[in-house]
Homo-oligomer: A and B are copies of this chain.
Amino acid sequence: MEVDEPVLLPRLARVAVCGGTHGNELSGVYLVRELLKEAQEKERDDEGPLSVQTLLSNPRATQQCRRYIDADLNRCFSLATLNGPVSEAAPYEIILARELNASLGPKGSQEAVDLVCDLHNTTANMGLCFIAYSDKDWICLHIFKHLQRQMPDIPMRFIHFNISKKESYSLDSVGKHGFALEIGPQPHGVVRSNVYTAMKVGVRHILDWIHYFNSGSVFEGGYVDVFTMVKNIDYPRDSQTHNITAAIHPRLQDRDFCLLCPEDPLFQTFSGEELTYKGNEPLYPFFINECAYYEKGIALSLARKKRVMIPPIRAQTEVEKQASEQSFASEEEE
Chain B min CB distance to A200 (Å): 8
A194–B291 contact, CB under 8 A?
A: no
A291–B189 contact, CB under 8 A?
A: yes
Q: Which residues of A contact B (CB under 8 A)?
A: 30-31, 33-34, 37-38, 65, 123, 185, 187-194, 196-197, 243-244, 247-250, 253, 268, 270-272, 289, 291-292, 294-295
Interchain CA distance A272-B272 in the complex, whole Å: 45
Residues in B neighbouring A295, C-beta threshold 8 A = 65
Q: Is the interface of A mostly helix, strand, loop or mixed?
A: loop
Knowing A65-B294, A270-B196 touch, does A191 contact B34 (C-beta < 8 A)? no
B33–A196 contact, CB under 8 A?
A: no
Interchain CA distance A123-B185 in the complex, whole Å: 12
Interchain CA distance A191-B187 in the complex, whole Å: 12
Knowing A187-B291, A294-B65 touch, does A192 contact B33 (C-beta < 8 A)? no
Residues in B neighbouring A196, C-beta threshold 8 A = 247, 270
Find A289's partner among B188, B190, B247, B253 (CB 8 Å cutoff). B190
Find A33's partner among B31, B34, B190, B243 (CB 8 Å cutoff). B243
Interchain CA distance A37-B188 in the complex, whole Å: 30
B291–A193 contact, CB under 8 A?
A: no
- CB pairs A–B below 8 angstroms (17 shown): A30-B247, A31-B270, A33-B270, A34-B270, A37-B271, A123-B187, A185-B187, A187-B187, A187-B190, A187-B291, A188-B189, A189-B291, A190-B289, A192-B250, A192-B253, A193-B248, A194-B253
A268–B189 contact, CB under 8 A?
A: no
Knowing A65-B294, A188-B187 touch, does A193 contact B31 (C-beta < 8 A)? no
Interchain CA distance A243-B34 in the complex, whole Å: 11
